[in-house]
Structure 1
């Protein structure tokens, strides 16, 4: 790769990586949250240590908060943006040196919806929302049910399985393929691309991880060129075909949108299903409530999203000189927001460290963000998670952990890499369809 790419890594991740490691050694809770192996397994001690320092905490280069009301306010406040007018804050001479290091469209750079603000955000989100027609959602719901049934039929009764590789990954990758018109036989390639590219959503990743992610994105970019050309010739009934034929997004916007749906949409649902399995097995009294009253499943999924969210943090940039909670923030100030911390803020949720599927305000979690950047696929993710988890536990009521679940080596996308399970006997019973919420 060109030296410009290495310089870009230094600006985007290298400098933060070195600064975070230095601050972690000095006892900074925010830095430890992003670098400590202990925080990878259990981030909440560091989050609570950060909360104890105040509602809005200053760290080198950034501010950080785990406060529910502050985070919700900033996510809805037009004075804060997702990327800022000039993107990454860097000297003009360095920006000019890097401008030719154009990277493939991906979820963490404009024009991804995650990283743009109005008016472009409004225009692109409107186009994508229009493609999520009732007919398209109905097709996806049918696909969730058929794929879940196929996967559960393939699991060996009284046998063992890795429920990440054999189940949690397979449900959302099938749905994403359906949404984008990708051939189902390329699932393994998509999974490999996703695993390699998702570290980009972390802060301060290594040069090797960054390089490998962009090499994977480059391969995906070339595939998308061919795929979009194919959809223009022969559009299908999928959502990406609708975006292509509408003609409202340019080529880079189409590819950034597809990459975002693949990355954020797929990985978060894998984590939702995996985290849900572990939490329900770890809290048998809550699982018993679901067996007594299956109507609680949608609420249980929201409690899983609150208690063990698949995405741990997000960030915003002050677009102008502003004040929040009595603190002056100059334009360009970065604020890192702990969504996991907000979801366990005792000012918002009673006894927040207790997993309770009957919690009355569980759905008020911030896992799907808030404001104009609220996750477009939140209803779909809830539907997938509800149907997949309910079907699994109803068909295999005696399933149990067969070893220690292995967390993924990522700090922001919080989930499991491997989940060894003893399945127990299968009970075949129809599961009622779950409507999108």
Structure 2
């Protein structure tokens, strides 16, 4: 329990403690004033009104983004009019058939890709499988003897599971390792490397340009998982020559629970991309019902089965909040939010009670802050009871995600203050 709940009455309190408390009150007041000033000058602050939010401090957008206000009405139209009235006609009249590539082109600017390289559909896991097996097949076309897949050893578990399955299916050896070890491990046997742009647990941002370059120098293909970076920071897939990439849409892109993922194949690789899941939706003549498979041209060959229209069109509506928004301005605010949060945590949380696992250097930080805390599960439960929502990762990590489109500096100051009161 903290001093402020245990201290004796004022006339019995030592002068030293009085000065400490005066300083604490002053510091809190200063941080609150600064938060208000920062919010007043924030050019993205107006976007908060485009989301369905209450007074809860919501710092879990790196798990599930908040609901954009335009989505319920759009979904109602899709269900009642497009499905309920137009029925089968909506595949053409409402644009259902072209939704995967149309929405892919809407995501493309957020990850630095030109149109025609992204399709939306399936889950992230399915797309990781397509990308990794496809990468091994592409590598085999250019160089014999490439029978090794390198995977981020700290990756989200599913990526590791998929990589292991892809290795078994393609006859490759799987080599899990820390991303920092990848450049020195690359060799003539390396076919593909699967890496996360941002570590889901710590928020560490990895050097996509340098690692992609090293992978290419070794003659291998780079596959990037963008789940914790797309919509929070610049990615620049085209600029850095990334081969294949995947990502979810329910985090910083706010597409809703289970919203379809996306799949990027660099334009010059598309004619040679051999999907391990050749479905009827990726056929050059999908309604020809031919027993022989002929892949569609371009990014369309990344499609598999019938698109999940309800969630896909909800995602399309959600992406409208990005109109006129620069990803660079989002990154600037993201860094300012996380900087301010770390400053407030230092001021409010008793020394030694938490430890930041997230790098302090901007070049190595995503849009979340992970704090190690001995009783993290119980602490997060108590924070949520006080309307500060983050999440807990076993065994001892508090995660706080900062979505610049709707999180403000006042939210940040309040979250850190409540954290300090909770663990004090």
Q: TM-score, normalised by structure 2?
A: 0.27
- Which structure's residues are more often helix, by fraction? 1
